[in-house]
Amino acid sequence: MRCRDGELEVVRVLIAPLPNSIISEEVSELPLDFGGVMGDRHHGTTRPSDTRQAGFYPRGTQIRNRRQVSIVAEEELELLRQAFDLPDLRPEELGANVLVRGLKDLSAMPIGARLLFESGAGLVCEGVNRPCQLPVHALRARHPGAGLRGFVKHAFARRGIVASVERPAGIRAGELVRVHLPDVLAPPRS
């Protein structure tokens, strides 16, 4: 492992090419533009709002796309794998675009944190990836006997983060990632 404390290392990069399938596939380079991952089902500078924005906008409203890139951590996938006694848990089955290692609590990263890649790519954390049922279906297909009851609930805050592109570049396995937390400015004492 190349990364030091406070740094991440990219382990794999993946694209989910099919609009109706969560499954992502490993690629040699993750091509980014301001719409996210080119060729991925979540690509776009805007997108229709879904149930996650219920209460904010009528469903189907065109809104800025803040969930362009899905990032998961080896450390958290291992916790999930153990919790459900699975032989393995692949980032493909979570539709992840980037698998990283080096941080115990990726999912706790605050909104606004920057992920700065060696390639020059810059992503902005847009918050935890709220779990859905799709990974359960994908896992069940490969592990028909697995007890996956409670997976969605258990995956809360272990399912990584979603991010948007601040500066596009191509991301590759082996790159180091520097994490920069957002400034918190206190008012002056007066």
Binding site for its own copies (CB under 8 A): 34, 45-46, 49, 55-57, 61-64, 66, 83, 107-108, 110-112, 114, 116, 120, 122, 124, 126-128, 130, 153-154, 156-158, 164-167, 180, 182-183, 185-188, 190
Residue reference for tokens 């291992």: 78
What is the closest distance, in whole angstroms, from the C-beta atom of residue 140 to its own copies in the complex?
20
CB of 21 or CB of 62, closer to its own copies:
62
CB of 174 or CB of 182, closer to its own copies:
182
CB of 24 or CB of 68, closer to its own copies:
68
CB of 111 or CB of 146, closer to its own copies:
111
What is the closest distance, in whole angstroms, from the C-beta atom of residue 84 to its own copies in the complex?
12
Length in residues, the chain: 190
3-state helix, strand, coil in the chain (%, to 5): 20, 30, 50
What is the closest distance, in whole angstroms, from the C-beta atom of residue 1 to its own copies in the complex?
23
Strands 176-180, 69-73: pairing kind: unpaired
Give me the amino acid identity at 189: R
Report residue 68: phi and psi, to 5°. Answer: -85, -40
SS3 label, residue 101: strand
∠ CA 31-163-155, rounded to 5°? 115
What is the closest distance, in whole angstroms, from the C-beta atom of residue 25 to its own copies in the complex?
26
Two structure tokens written together for 48:
């229709």
Two structure tokens written together for 160:
């990584």
Nearest alpha-carbon partner for 160 in 37, 43, 74: 74
What is the closest distance, in whole angstroms, from the C-beta atom of residue 20 to its own copies in the complex?
25
CB of 48 or CB of 174, closer to its own copies:
48
